[in-house]
Amino acid sequence: MRLPLTAPMLTRHSLNSIARHISPACCGDIDFGYHRSVTHVLLATDSDSVFNAVDAALGGDAAEISRVRAGVEVLDAVREREPDLVICDLQIGNMGGMATCLDLRLEAEMGRAPETRVLMLLDREADVYLAKQAGSDGWLVKPLDAVS
């Protein structure tokens, strides 16, 4: 069951909650099956402003952030690093966020990649339907506003 993580802005509280595998402000508890002190987040974006907002929101020692700048790089990064969460920008390089999410889902179903939680960063509320169809576990609608 995919749980929506909708919020008008990405705040330190909501993203830290996601990073800790719980987001009560957005959608109740999300159980990733395990808990650990440092969460590995793979951020797929070619936008420096999106990267800076997510990095500022996560901040500190709670999360290790890896970044890829193209959708075609995500699958290899997931296989290599096995992140706890992939945050995927809708608008990313030559392979959009929806196609990237679908690719991750299909490869996991075929046993060629680990199952990974995916949070989509959407441009508008109307994109929520597409995120659901792509198999995203959750989404946030930009603009991202990292609040301390």
Sign of CA dihedral 19, 25, 27, 28: positive
Give the domain range for residue 52: 12-141
What integer pLDDT is reported at residue 103 of this predicted model?
Answer: 95
Residue 111: inside a domain: yes
What's the rounded Cα separation, in Å, for the pair 33 and 65? 20
What integer pLDDT is reported at residue 108 of this predicted model?
Answer: 96
Residue 3: inside a domain: no
pLDDT tens, N- to C-terminus, the chain (148 residues): 343 444 333 444 455 555 443 233 333 333 444 444 557 889 999 999 888 888 877 766 667 889 999 999 999 999 999 998 999 999 888 889 999 999 999 999 999 999 999 999 998 889 999 999 999 988 888 876 554 3
Residue 68: inside a domain: yes
What's the rounded Cα separation, in Å, for the pair 21 and 28? 10
Residue 133: inside a domain: yes
Residue 90: inside a domain: yes
Sign of CA dihedral 113, 43, 146, 34: positive
CATH number for position 95? 3.40.50.2300
Residue 69: inside a domain: yes
Residue 4: inside a domain: no
The residue type of 136 is: S
The answer to whether 95 and 71 have CB atoms below 8 angstroms apart is yes
Answer yes or no: pTM beyond 0.85: no
Residue 148: inside a domain: no
What integer pLDDT is reported at residue 142 of this predicted model?
Answer: 80
The total of structural domains in the chain comes to 1
